[in-house]
Structure 1
Amino acid sequence: MATADPTFLTDPPRFVFFTGKGGVGKTSIACASALRLARAGKRVLLVSTDPTSNVGQVFGLSIGNTITEVPAAPGLSALEIDPEQAAAAYRERIVGPVRGLLPDAEIASITEQLSGSCTTEVASFDEFTSLLADPDERVAGFDHVLFDTAPTGHTIRLLQLPGNWTEFLDNGKGDASCLGPLAGLDKQKAMYAGAVEALSDPERTRLVLVARANRAALAEIARTHDELTAIGMTRQHVVVNGVLPTPVDDTDPLATAVYHREQAALATVPDTIAGLPTDLIELKAVNMVGLDAVSSLFDAASPPTAAAETDLVAIAEIAEAPLADLIDAIEADGHGLVMCMGKGGVGKTTVAAAIAVALVQRGHDVHLTTTDPAAHLTETLAGELDHLEVSRIDPHEASETYRNRVLAAKGAGLDDAGRATLAEDLLSPCTEEVAVFQAFSKVIHESRRKFVVIDTAPTGHTLLLLDATGSYHREIARQMGDGAQFTTPLMRLQDPAQTKIVLVTLAETTPVLEAAGLQDDLRRAGIAPWAWVINNSLAAAEPTAPLLRRRAVAELEQIDKVRGELADRYAVIPLSTTEPVGITAVGSLAELRPEPSPVQ
């Protein structure tokens, strides 16, 4: 099944992008690919465009926003496009030349205008396009540049931005506040055009669509295939990661069920990607952290060793912590906001849906919504339920609504030329930030009288949304002055009586580290996470197959870390033998209990 020489690494072009649904192993595949090419004598730069990159963690060193050599892998360097560092450098490029020439108050005003999440996105995008166009020959010495991207929705947005900005500039400069002084636009326009050219050239760019062997992940890369083919990225490969090898026998019901479920998904791959070159990578017994583990990812899996007796006892003694207990506490308030947050691929959508369905089944009206650009709520629920409203904060729809509202209000007193200028300004990609924030604020307000459950986008995208919420709060506070009475969306998020933040994770090193980092970020913003949910736990499911048993043992350290160090309250959801799709299946997750059983 597995291959030591993946087809997507055969005669690779200069640029290789790895994208897919969160949690499918993009970073592991990208890091293993970079190592393979570097050990073949190539000079390789591995770039992460994920706002919550963990490339540094995989290699065991601090990377950040500068090109950093990986000492243990000669020929390999890495770069993490850190949004905050990129934004700070971007602001300085704009403000620095006029500092001392303009009054301090005006400098402060410019700096404030460039402090929002829109500037952060544009700054990160600037870094990304500069690597593709390479106007300063910063990456000229590398044979290959590999991009480990953010989860799919964010990546599509990033890859479409060069075309969006090029079109925006071609059709008129409009409101260029996010891009800086008008004098710099011609240079940026040329760089963006160079990025578009590189992306659409199959001799220079290859797209690797990474998935797991499940219907949702395969359906998502099929959608990604269509969207990115439309912008000229036609040279595409598929990698299905973490495929369970054929069980040696059928004595473990969980292993047998997972194997047949994955094989059924692989047998019904969407037609649009069925003909693409495809590699299957076997599930390994260890987490992909460290050079030794990552370098073995493309090798055939070795038979796992038996778990130690002490490990088996520890698995059997996992504390009972059902999701139902958390829902009891949520329900006691009668209404409020529940936000499920975490790394992509940990099951936020499933957990959010399970909480919402359980509350409806207990007699409440519930609004379940998502801010994820790659939302899958309707696929997860696969049906309708009385008293459950399901929606999506769609960036395009929110932007169109916002533009129409602004044109109707501000454009009412303008002449034709003025309305045309206003309409052009509102075509800026930055308009989307404001529109999504306003839709998010409306949903928060609704939670004053009913339960609202939000399935958020993966961590980095969510942090940008919360940053916009904080910027709005600071602006309102400045305008209202001391002593004024007001309530902003941020204040509702900070009030534990109104908002319960649920951090969703898997019992693996990277998701737990990222959730812990998110918890720290939230606390700095005055928002205290309420509970953690450890989803799809193998240890709680107590498998007997050797490979799954070894992976279950590997979970124990992370489960102990969550319940002992990180969470005030937590729940554990065992990995199920059936995929949690449909109202009944999703609702049953709220009642699943990791029941102790005799040691095998």
Structure 2
Amino acid sequence: MYIRYNPQRHVETPYIFFTGKGGVGKTSVACITAVALADQGKKVLLVSTDPASNLQDVFKIELSREPVEIPSVKNLFASNIDPEEAAKAYREKTVGPYRGKLPESVINQMEEQLSGACTVEIAAFNEFSHLLADNGIFSEYDHVIFDTAPTGHTLRLLSLPTAWSGYLEEATHGASCLGPLSGLGDKKDLYQKAVDSLSDGDKTTLILVARPEESTLLEANRASRELSEIGIKKQMLIINGLLQSYDQNDEIATAFYKGQQNSLAKIPEQLKKMVTYSLPFVPYSLTGIKRLRQIVSTDPFAFKEVSGEETELAPLSSLKDVIDDFSANNTRVIFTMGKGGVGKTSIAAAIAVGLTEKGHRVHLTTTDPAAHLDYMFQNSAINEKLSISSIDPEKEVENYKKEVIAKAGELSDDELAYLQEDLESPCTEEIAVFRAFAEVVERSEREIVVIDTAPTGHTLLLLDSSEAYHKEMSRSTGEIPESVKKLLPRLRNREETGVVIVTLPEATPVFEATRLQDDLKRAEITPKWWVINRSLYATGTTDPVLKARSASEKEWIKKVQEELADHVALIPWMKKVKIGYDQLKEFVQL
């Protein structure tokens, strides 16, 4: 149906971006591409700009900001732009020259100004722009490959050149939550070069990665359209994980294959016109150099895996057990967290429906920029005890701006211009969304609140920024809402808040979930449950390829069960995605 992707034949430009919905395999495909091009004799730099990067898991090597040569792959170098580290360096570069020269109170105020999420965004972007605009990088490497964040973050990252260039052009008073604009003025040329590189089809190719699943194809279509609008015109599509053949006597394999084909039959018109390649569904996980080479070899199925058949697993709980636990303990705030694409939205929706069926009043919401709750409940009547919402950044920003201006009272034209300029900063969106998040959590005093959160990096940014936002809101509005004051104590109270980490029975999602749990614990938030979603092992499939993949799952299920989680639930791969209230009600009984 589609030509099999071969980077050595299908990649032409020096800059290559990979994007797509979380969990589609962007990192794997980026690594496959990097290794293949390096094997061809090209000098390659692979860069992650994803806050939830897992490059180190694929290559089994620690990475940092500085490029590191990958062992056993001549010509391949990789680096990881850590947004938090970039922000720390950015703050020190801005504040450092004034230490010892200005009063400590002034230094503290400067550091506070640079403590918000917006600083993290702009610091990471500075690193990103340097790679795009630096002629030295361009001449040193034949290819620079960007393993970017899930689509929502990617769109923000790639639109920042235009947004910030426009902001700097229009800003005349020096107001910004990032501090004096003089600190950014010398970046204008760098930003413009980055914009030019992104929109140059001879330099840059955008590779959209999707699974043969309707939701990921819709997300790829949206990303394609929006990135086209900011000038990135040269695009191609890779369908990852396409099952090539199947045992027609196995119900799971038949449903798996037909489900993929049905999704591809509904591919959006814009994507149909795009150059499209595919990668096969293989019985091994794509970690380690041998596997990355094998999948683009002449026989991607020749690689032999350890069967995993001897691994014994203790009995595991079900999703119904998770819901029973939260109901019995009257947990008021429930988060589903995890790497993008593991099924957080489905699990959040199912938990909300299950608790509603037990007679609780429930509010289900999302803070995910790529929210899919509407998709989960499309054309579906719901129980009157269940309410659903999402936090719309655009609406929250507009409301926040109006409120700040209204509270400012009578202003002169210059004062109003100054305030409006300050509110045009990208920081405003983060502040407005955070405030809306705190207000939703406040609802837990009268109903259970189930929150489908954003992918890992964004979630932690949101939670860890609490103190910074206290300061920023006080500066902007002169007061801190009661809901914000109560937020962190509420999140840290295990009797009130339950965190569910959602993962898949594969290496990368488990590694990522482990890092998430460690970060949450440092923030004094302890997860209650782990949910291992979409397990082929739990289906009992007999298809040769699916059975081999299911056997490899056992290692990761056991690791979660014995090393990582206090309570674990296992959910089988479903023949059909559960959409609508009634189907979700059936789902929670499994």
For the Cα contact (< 8 Å) 1:307–1:546, is it kept in 2? no
| Worse overlay, 328-337 or 139-148 | 328-337
- Give 1:596's aligned residue: none
TM-score for both structures, normalised by structure 1: 0.92
Specify the SS of the correspondent of 1:392. coil
- The structural deviation recorded for 1:588 is 2.1
Tell me the distance in 1 between the aligned counterparts of 2:204 and 2:177: 28
The code of the aligned residue for 1:336 comes to R
Q: Does 1:447 align with 2:457?
A: no
Structure 1 counterpart of 2:445, one-letter code: R
Instruction: Say if 2:176 and 2:422, in contact at 8 Å, map to a contact too.
Output: no
**Residue 421 of structure 1: aligned partner:** 418
Correspondences of 1:28-47 after superposition (within 5 Å)? 28-47=28-47
Query: Counterpart of 2:479?
Result: none
Question: Are 2:552 and 1:540 aligned?
Answer: no
- Please report how far the alpha carbon of residue 173 of structure 1 lies from its aligned counterpart in structure 2 after TM superposition: 4.2
CA deviations over 1:294-322 (Å, ceiling 9, x no partner): 122223432687986xx44757x552411
- Looking at structure 2, the residues matched to 219 and 35 of structure 1 have their Cα atoms a distance apart, in angstroms, of 29
Q: Write the distance in 1 (CA, Å) between the matches of 2:549 and 2:424.
A: 49
Cα distance in 1 for partners of 2:355, 2:191 equals: 48
1:89 Cα deviation from its structure 2 partner: 1.0
2:493 alignment counterpart = 495
Whether the 8 Å CA contact 2:336–2:500 is kept in 1: the answer is: yes
2:430 aligned residue: 433
Q: Which residue of 1 aligns with 2:67?
A: 67
Q: Which residue of 1 aligns with 2:558?
A: 560
Amino acid at match of 1:113: Q
Q: Kindly report the root-mean-square deviation, in angstroms, between the aligned alpha carbons of the 2 structures.
A: 2.3
- 2:371 is aligned, of 375, 387, 390, to 375
The answer to whether the Cα contact below 8 Å between 1:200 and 1:234 also exists between their aligned partners in 2 is yes
Q: Which runs of 5+ in 1 are unaligned?
A: 478-485, 593-600
User: Structure 1 residues 304, 198: CA separation in 2 closer, same or farther (over 3 Å shift)?
Assistant: closer
Aligned residue in 2 for 1:153:
152
Give 1:182's aligned residue: 181
Inter-partner Cα distance in structure 1 for 2:569 and 2:97: 53
* Residues in 2 aligned to 1:194 and 1:208: alpha-carbon distance in whole angstroms: 21
8 Å CA contact retained: 2:294, 2:303: no
The equivalent residue for 2:327 is: 331
* Structure 1 equivalent of residue 478 of structure 2: none
- 1:122 and 1:476 map into 2 onto residues whose CA distance is 20
Secondary structure of residue in 1 paired with 2:495: coil
Which secondary structure state, in structure 1, belongs to the residue aligned with residue 446 of structure 2?
Answer: coil
Give the TM-score normalised by the residue count of structure 2: 0.94
**Which deviates more from structure 2 when the two are superposed, residues 102-111 or residues 526-535?**
102-111
What is residue 341 of structure 2 aligned with on the other side? 345
Shift of 1:104: 2.1
Between the aligned partners of 1:587 and 1:8, the Cα distance in structure 2 is 48
Q: What is the distance in 2 between the residues matched to 1:530 and 1:277?
A: 45
Task: Report matched runs for 1:171-570 at 5 Å.
Answer: 171-174=170-173, 176-247=175-246, 249-299=247-297, 300-302=299-301, 311-312=308-309, 314=311, 319-334=315-330, 336-382=332-378, 383-385=380-382, 386-410=384-408, 412-472=409-469, 487-570=485-568
Q: Which amino acid aligns with 2:108?
A: A
Amino acid at match of 1:183: S
Query: How big is the shift at 1:228?
Result: 0.7
Asked if the contact 1:8/1:237 (under 8 Å) is kept, the reply is: no
Tell me if the contact between 2:331 and 2:495 (Cα under 8 Å) persists in the aligned partners: no
Percent identity (aligned): 46
User: How far off is 1:8 after superposition?
Assistant: 9.0
Distance 1:8 1:581 in 2: 40
1:106 matched residue in structure 2:
106
> Residues 369 and 392 of structure 1 are in contact (CA less than 8 Å); yes or no, is this contact kept in structure 2?
yes
Q: 381-390 or 145-154, which moves further after superposition?
A: 381-390
Q: Determine the C-alpha separation between the residues in 2 that align with 1:476 and 1:371.
A: 19
Unmatched runs of 5 consecutive residues or more in structure 2: 475-483
Q: Which amino acid aligns with 2:161?
A: P
Contact in 1 for aligned 2:241/2:281 (Cα 8 Å): yes
- The alignment of Structure 1 onto Structure 2 pairs a total of residues equal to 581
| Equivalent position amino acid for 1:33 in 2 | T
The CA deviation at 1:374 is 0.8
Superimposed CA distance per residue, residues 150-195 of structure 1 (whole angstroms, 9 cap, x where no aligned partner): 1111111111111110111111245554545433333211111111
Secondary structure at the aligned position of 1:147 is classed as strand
Q: CA deviation at 1:7?
A: 7.0
Alpha-carbon distance, 1:421 to partner: 2.1
Q: CA deviation at 1:335?
A: 5.5
Is the alpha carbon distance of 1:588 and 1:182 closer, same or farther for their aligned partners in structure 2, counting shifts above 3 Å?
same
Contact preservation (8 Å) 2:431, 2:469: no
Distance 1:426 1:347, change over 3 A: same
Aligned-partner SS, 2:465: helix
Q: C-alpha distance in 1, partners of 2:228/2:143?
A: 22
Distance 1:415 1:306, change over 3 A: closer
1:76 aligns with 2:80: no
